[in-house]
Structure 1
């Protein structure tokens, strides 16, 4: 004879409903997004940022770790035990857009064969000019450098780069937490070089733009230091 379902103190049957499962999925995805955008964090910082309990965050992290999506490393603290800093593994890349990597790689290879390296560079130059014109049409509406960077971040986020802007002592840090064309950029160095040129042209002659972090060089993100010229 089957055992009766467990009941709560009020006498009703206890079970996780659809809302609970949906909430768990949302929390897990929120944790993945937070680690992607802000890098390694401990459970307490994640909980504070997401507005859920540290215990719930730890439970999700251990589940994500079991699936190979996150890993952790110990960080020494002045007092108490070392903290666990959680970070995404390469397996988590599937949660973020890849920009149709396979198709893009195939097109790059075909263009190299059809037009040669110089022909590919010309095509990238044409694409860069189109980007500069499109970005400039939206960026130029802003008067301040901060406004221009926020507009650029909005554009790049729409394209899948998860862009953000941070104020620094030197100026501003323009950050791209994800590269939807990373595979293509690895096969065609001109794409990254073109990106830097596009930012410089779109933001105008009054600023200096220098890349400080590069995903293809092993960083978790691409970042650019943007400073006003004297």
Structure 2
């Protein structure tokens, strides 16, 4: 017959982390939502993460940032405020903190998740010739810029083999304009020993159609590069509706 453990036995028996890790969360007065968390995790395990709606996927992530309490209202508030899961992750820490229940620590966690995703998308571009991984490049610039609230002008600097040397933000602007200086673009290309560049900027309006100002500015940069033997492969304009390529549109 097995005897009940004494207090002395309990006090001297080593406790294993596995004992805690495998134990389900207990729904108590202090943690009334533990049951919901366990049920959501179980549904994710059985049905796969792809089967979850956006707000529940966001909930799962928030569980780790917010150990206790109901995070469903926060997840839904984030999606309502920014409009989509992609826009939530692309939002700045300051903007995320405007949502009720989202403090600086949670906002930083969400921004970190976006940065991880961005770096994962950048890997295929860094390790391969940009021209041969064009689909990956388009996916990367869309992830980076489609939900930016202000115009941002970036330059991808490429070596002789068209491999990425650097992806740098040259200027931030307003909701409809980002100042660009062709001499600065070329000066930086020379500093990096770049042979070619790809220009990238976004339209916060969502429509990636190039403007007359975009066309004029691109021509100035192409002309500046020609004298230095630095090629401009393309100018990509990113919007929520897609990515427009100057070269594909016959604009360069």
TM-score (norm 2): 0.29
Q: Which has the higher contact order (CA 8 A, sep 6+)?
A: 1
Larger Rg: 1 or 2?
2
